[in-house]
Every structure is written in structure tokens, then in C-alpha cells.
């Protein structure tokens, strides 16, 4: 992130999250530069199937997405290394003029933008350092735009947050714009558990890095040895619950927030949820937010989906 401590609202969100039950750290703490590099490593793990499944769908369906959207501008929210986005960039080549990768992880974003600009010299590449929960109203113009959120990043929102986000996307879309989202689907619990408990411990290192970042930026005293990494399936919420369990009772100070935390033995500290989706429920959520799902494609195994959406109003005027 640009500088986590200066990131607008992050201190307040952290203070609020750490006072909840269970205690939570905002997910954005995962993505400083090291976190972004670790996430990139996760995408190459054999256990972590989502990027491969999403790539399979994009390979098959990007031409259709391009034909339907005719996008001049591609805005990618939470772009990361934009590795699978190349499939969209290639398919959209006849109409695309501008690519706007948006991410909170500034240095990583800059290197992604440089790499894409070098590979696509005819494209204007304008990186946007920002927060997709706050900055959707200031996305650049240039319709028809395709706004994409890949990698099942949407699964990292809590339900109320996701509702707000989808409504904000609907509010940001112009008549000719479309929204493309990648969604990991509900599946066998063993496969889900394996995806977040990889044999090499890369995911654990990624999640632990959030504690390192909070210690550095907010002068906190989280001691890694006192926390056990945990990632388990929550069947009620249908999400992977990812974070830590305190080994024993102890205290943690977060000096920059003037906060003293007491952890009980086995108390949970949540860093991320990764919700898994079902088509019908997602379509209802999208509809309630003002978005109509015009395209829904899955990989052959049915593990992952891509949904293409437009504003509800436009759909109702086009019978």
C-alpha cells in the first residue's frame, strides 16, 4: 500500500475491527509490497486452483466479453500483477484505447503498469493508486468502459461491504459500461481447506505479513510466535475464515491507535474471509444492488465463474 498508515480511513477501520468480536484486521493490511509478492507466489501454488480456473474461462470467453462490451477503457480494480488481464487486453485490442489498473499496493501497481505498457505500446496505461471501496466515483471517463474485478477479490468483502460495493459499482456505471467479476464457487471442503493451507506455507507467510505490516506502520507489538495460523471453512457464512488463534492469553499494544488489546487463550484474530458463491444468490444480490447479470460462464470443472453485468435500468429499456 502507498503507506498503510496514511491510507485514508485505514487507521479508523483498524481501530474498529480490533474492537469487534472476533477481532479483525482489515484485509488491506495483507497487501504491502511484500504481501503483493507473496500473493503472486500463491497464484502459482498447485493447491490454489482459482487463478488457473479463471484463466481457463478468460481464455475461452474473452472474445465474447470483447464483442459484447466493445470497451474503449478497461479499468481493473485490485489489478495486482494483471497476469490474466492480458487475455482481456488481447481480445479487446480492436476497440481498447486505455487500461487503468487500480490498486492500493502502489509500488506493485507501478511495476504492473510499466510491464503492461511495454507489452502493449499502442495502449495508454494509466495506473490509479486508490481504494476500490472509496474511489469508484472518480474512475476516469471513456465509455464504453469495462470495469473488472478478477481473482475472486469480491470474496474478501463481508456481506454488507459487498452490498455497498456492488451498489457503488452500479452507481459508477454509465449506460454503455459493463462490470466483469471473477467468483470462486462453493465446493468440496477438503479442496477449499487445502487451497489456504498449502504445503509450502506460502499462504501462512502471506497472512503473517499483515501482522508485520501493522507492527511497522502502527507501532504494534503482535508477536508472531504467540499466534497460530488458521484457515477453516465456515459453513454458515460459506466463507473461508483466515487469520490466527492466540496460543495463550496475552496482551498486544497498538501504540499509534492508543489501543491495548487482551487476547484470551485460543481467541481468534481474523485477517480475511474468502466467500464462496452460488449463482442464484449472487444474481439476487447483484440485482438488489442495481446490476443485471448478462453473462455467466464457468470453467469445465465448475469451480469458478465469471459474471458480466450491466446496470439494471439499461436492461429494462432493452427488452
Ligand X SMILES: C[S@@+](CC[C@H](N)C(=O)[O-])C[C@H]1O[C@@H](n2cnc3c(N)ncnc32)[C@H](O)[C@@H]1O
- Residue from 43, 62, 69, 310 in contact with ligand X (CB under 6 A): 43
> Rounded to 5 degrees, what are φ and ψ at 202?
-70, -40
Contact range with ligand X by CB under 6 A, out of 99-107, 113-121, 187-195, 283-291:
99-107
Based on the shown chain and the rule CB under 6 A, indicate whether residue 80 belongs to the binding site for ligand X. yes
- Residue from 48, 99, 128, 132 in contact with ligand X (CB under 6 A): 132
- Residue from 151, 229, 261, 303 in contact with ligand X (CB under 6 A): 151
Q: Which single residue is written with the C-alpha cell 439476487?
A: 284
- Contact predicate 150/307, CB 8 Å: no
- Residue from 87, 104, 168, 169 in contact with ligand X (CB under 6 A): 104
Q: Given the complex with ligand X, which of 17 and 151 has the nearer CB atom?
A: 151
Burial class (CB in 10 A: 0-12, 13-18, 19+), 220: buried
- Contact predicate 33/105, CB 8 Å: yes
Based on the shown chain and the rule CB under 6 A, indicate whether residue 14 belongs to the binding site for ligand X. no
The packing angle between helices 279-289 and 159-172, to 10°, is 50
- Residue from 14, 36, 73, 203 in contact with ligand X (CB under 6 A): 36
- Residue from 90, 133, 285, 294 in contact with ligand X (CB under 6 A): 133
Omega before 144 within 30 of 0, i.e. cis: yes
Q: How far is the CB of 32 from ligand X (least distance, A)?
A: 9
For residues 116 and 96, give the distance between their C-alpha atoms in angstroms, rounded to a whole number: 14
Kindly state the number of chain residues that form the binding site for ligand X, as judged by CB under 6 A. Answer: 17
Q: CA distances (Å), 153 to each of 64, 181, 246, 282, in order?
A: 22, 9, 27, 14
Q: How far apart are the first and last CA of the chain?
A: 44
Of 210, 220, 213, nearest in space to 256 by CA: 220
Q: How far is the CB of 96 from ligand X (least distance, A)?
A: 18
Q: How far is the CB of 253 from ligand X (least distance, A)?
A: 26
Contact range with ligand X by CB under 6 A, out of 12-20, 97-105, 228-236, 300-308:
97-105
Contact range with ligand X by CB under 6 A, out of 98-106, 205-213, 220-228, 263-271:
98-106
Q: How far is the CB of 80 from ligand X (least distance, A)?
A: 3
Based on the shown chain and the rule CB under 6 A, indicate whether residue 73 belongs to the binding site for ligand X. no
Neighbours of 237 (CB within 10 A): 13
Contact range with ligand X by CB under 6 A, out of 58-66, 103-111, 187-195, 257-265:
103-111
Based on the shown chain and the rule CB under 6 A, indicate whether residue 184 belongs to the binding site for ligand X. no
Q: CA distances (Å), 277 to each of 86, 155, 310, 315, in order?
A: 25, 8, 19, 23
Based on the shown chain and the rule CB under 6 A, indicate whether residue 105 belongs to the binding site for ligand X. yes
For residues 204 and 209, give the distance between their C-alpha atoms in angstroms, rounded to a whole number: 8
Based on the shown chain and the rule CB under 6 A, indicate whether residue 17 belongs to the binding site for ligand X. no
> Rounded to 5 degrees, what are φ and ψ at 169?
-65, -45
Based on the shown chain and the rule CB under 6 A, indicate whether residue 87 belongs to the binding site for ligand X. no
Q: Is 150 helix (H, G, I), strand (E, B) or coil?
A: coil
Residue closest to ligand X when measured from CB atoms: 151
Based on the shown chain and the rule CB under 6 A, indicate whether residue 203 belongs to the binding site for ligand X. no
Q: Can you give the binding site for ligand X, defined by CB under 6 A?
A: 28, 31, 36, 39, 43, 78-80, 103-105, 131-133, 150-151, 153
Amino acid at each position: 500500500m502507498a503507506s498503510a498508515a496514511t491510507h485514508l480511513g485505514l487507521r479508523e477501520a483498524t481501530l474498529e475491527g480490533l474492537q469487534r468480536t472476533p477481532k479483525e484486521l482489515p484485509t488491506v493490511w495483507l497487501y504491502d509490497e511484500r504481501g503483493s509478492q507473496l500473493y503472486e507466489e500463491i497464484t502459482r501454488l498447485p493447491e490454489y486452483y482459482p487463478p488457473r480456473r479463471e484463466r481457463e474461462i478468460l481464455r475461452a470467453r474473452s472474445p465474447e466479453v470483447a464483442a459484447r462490451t466493445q470497451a474503449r477503457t478497461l479499468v481493473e480494480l485490485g489489478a495486482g500483477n494483471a497476469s490474466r488481464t492480458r487475455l482481456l487486453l488481447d481480445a479487446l485490442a480492436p476497440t481498447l484505447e486505455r487500461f487503468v489498473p487500480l490498486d492500493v499496493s502502489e509500488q506493485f501497481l507501478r511495476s504492473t503498469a510499466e510491464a503492461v505498457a511495454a507489452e502493449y505500446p499502442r495502449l495508454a496505461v494509466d495506473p490509479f493508486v486508490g481504494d476500490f471501496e472509496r474511489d469508484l466515483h472518480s474512475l476516469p471517463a471513456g465509455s464504453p468502459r469495462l470495469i473488472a474485478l478478477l481473482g475472486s477479490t469480491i470474496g474478501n468483502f463481508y456481506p454488507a461491504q459487498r452490498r455497498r460495493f456492488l451498489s457503488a459499482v452500479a452507481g459508477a456505471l454509465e449506460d454503455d459500461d459493463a462490470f466483469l467479476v471473477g467468483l470462486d464457487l462453493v465446493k468440496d471442503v477438503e479442496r477449499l481447506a487445502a487451497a489456504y493451507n498449502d504445503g509450502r506455507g506460502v499462504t501462512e507467510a502471506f497472512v503473517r505479513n499483515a501482522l508485520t505490516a501493522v507492527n511497522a506502520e502502527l507501532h504494534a507489538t503482535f508477536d508472531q510466535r504467540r499466534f497460530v495460523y488458521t484457515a477453516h471453512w465456515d459453513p454458515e457464512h460459506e466463507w473461508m475464515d483466515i487469520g490466527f488463534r492466540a496460543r495463550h492469553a496475552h496482551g498486544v499494544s497498538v501504540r499509534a491507535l492508543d489501543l491495548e488489546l487482551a487476547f484470551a487463550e485460543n481467541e481468534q484474530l481474523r485477517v480475511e474471509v474468502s466467500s464462496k458463491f452460488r449463482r442464484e444468490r449472487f444474481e439476487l444480490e447483484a440485482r438488489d444492488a442495481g446490476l443485471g447479470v448478462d453473462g455467466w460462464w464457468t470453467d469445465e470443472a465448475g469451480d469458478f465463474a465469471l459474471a458480466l453485468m450491466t446496470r439494471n435500468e439499461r436492461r429494462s429499456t432493452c427488452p
